[in-house]
Amino acid sequence: MFAQATLHLALLSSVFSGFAHAVQPIKVQGSDFVNADTGDSFQIIGVAYQPGGSSGFDPSTGKDPLSDGDICLRDAALMQRLGLNTIRVYNLDPDLNHDMCASIFNEVGIYMLLDVNSPLPGQALNRGEPWTTYTLDYLKRIFGIVEAFKGYPNTLGFFGGNEVINDVPSSSVVPPYLRAVNRDLKNYIAKNSDRTIPVGYSAADVRDILAPTWEYLQCAINGDDNDQSRADFFGLNSYSWCGSEITYETSDWKTLVAQFSNTTIPVFFSEYGCNTSPPRTFDEVQALYGTKMTPVLSGGLVYEYSNEPSDYGLVNINDDGSVKLRGDYDALQSQYNKLDINLLQSTNSTATAVKPPKCVKSLVEYQDFNTNFTLPTLPKGGQDLINNGLSKPNQGKLVKVTKTTVSQKVQSSKGDTISGLAIKPLPSGQSNTPNGQDTSGTPSGTASPSPSPSKKGAASSSRGIMSAGMICFSTAVLIANLL
């Protein structure tokens, strides 16, 4: 009997040692993102993450931004301190192992918004002739990204396209293909994933076609709420707030809020952070997460984490893997620390109850915009892929994160070495939030404070502890009976 009890204890130990703290999936409810467990509203506090830039994406190297656990650990630690809850990654290889990176970001409460396309030939829609690239091989590519990331609870959503419509000529041919890609991705997810994962679009800030693009993608064909070709969310790459002299009242963000005021899907900035008037002070953060914008917009992603030739970076990454924070990091952290997290988590019952408009040509008010809602049919073999899934796909899963301390040298913007930099795993169900920390002033060798859970996050943690306690109690009873 004692040997049997020992076996049960060993099995229990194995179960607990394999536990990974998991965030709660985010779902779309009306025009809001909400936490699937608590029902809290979820505002994206994020950054674009593509070290090396788009030109640095080369599958022949066997690497992409989420394939090296040591690099992700370094960056996740700095993002956690900054207060981020979301990253956007543009170019990924569906055949690589992303388990450690995804698990590290999951541990610190950071979600992932992922583009399914890449700049390589045949891996994105051709905006001039989209019918030439809407092929079976293209579907295999984008379904491969779904397979690789559907198993991670911190996969927030997929971008089916990024600025595919960027001028009037492309707006005359591309729109039906965007809805076709939405349809195909969502049908594939419905057939081959254990949970619904939102699919949306990231738009260029070209004002003549911005509203028509949003109207075209958010409406429901035949008024059907379950129309799979409808976008689940709408991102906007906007760089129109430039300089520290701008205010909400004098910016055109006020115009954008009015324009999207009747949205029936979440709208957010999929890129923002103008750099034409340096240094960037990020004063727009207070407007974006303030009372005038949060009822309409769902946050945004600052462009970008690593400094590239365009000079938007929050950090400089050196060839040896060491990192130095830039003044932009400090300025952004200072702005995040002023945010009212309780306001950002409060649910808007009106926003969550809205219904989509029926798709009609008159809804899209631009004469050259393609308002055809008869969508392209699937390429030959496409329906079989959706029904049966890809053959032997690379499927990601959470793994145990055993290393928490950053090994690379990291310096503050002042040049001081930040010692003891490490990720701080959060209680299960909790996402990351700004915590009032000033990383730029962290003395060498001083540990940083742990992120503070929200009240509902703490409640979720308590439920997890109680559940674990019940497991231990049940096991104790089992062992007692065996003895």
Q: Which residues are tagged catalytic?
A: 163, 271
Here the contacts of 373-376 (C-beta below 8 Å, separation 24 or greater) are 373/176, 373/179, 373/221, 374/176, 375/176, 375/179, 375/180, 375/183, 375/229, 376/131, 376/134, 376/176, 376/177, 376/180
| 199 and 29 Cβ atoms separated by less than 8 Å | no
| Phi, psi torsion values for 431, nearest 5 degrees | -100, 160
> Which residue, 264, 211, 207, 201, is CA-closest to 235?
201
> Which residue, 419, 453, 431, 447, is CA-closest to 79?
431
Q: How far apart are CA 258 and CA 262, in angstroms?
A: 8
Q: How far apart are CA 49 and CA 343, in angstroms?
A: 26
Q: How far apart are CA 75 and CA 50, in angstroms?
A: 11
Residue 234, H or E segment: strand 233-238
Side-chain-side CA neighbours of 59 within 13 Å: the count stands at: 13
Tokens linked to 82:
């900054």
Q: How far apart are CA 25 and CA 362, in angstroms?
A: 36
Burial string for 170-194 (b: 16+ CB within 10 Å, else e) reads bbebbbbbbbbbbbbbbbbbeebbe
| 455 and 425 Cβ atoms separated by less than 8 Å | no
| 431 and 46 Cβ atoms separated by less than 8 Å | no
Tokens linked to 64:
């992409």
| 405 and 421 Cβ atoms separated by less than 8 Å | yes
Q: Which residues pair with 315 in a beta bridge?
A: 306, 325
Respond yes or no on whether the N-terminal peptide bond of residue 271 is cis (omega within 30° of 0): no
H runs (alpha helix) in 150-238: 168-171, 175-192, 207-218
> Which residue, 130, 116, 46, is CA-closest to 303?
46
H runs (alpha helix) in 234-326: 253-259, 284-288
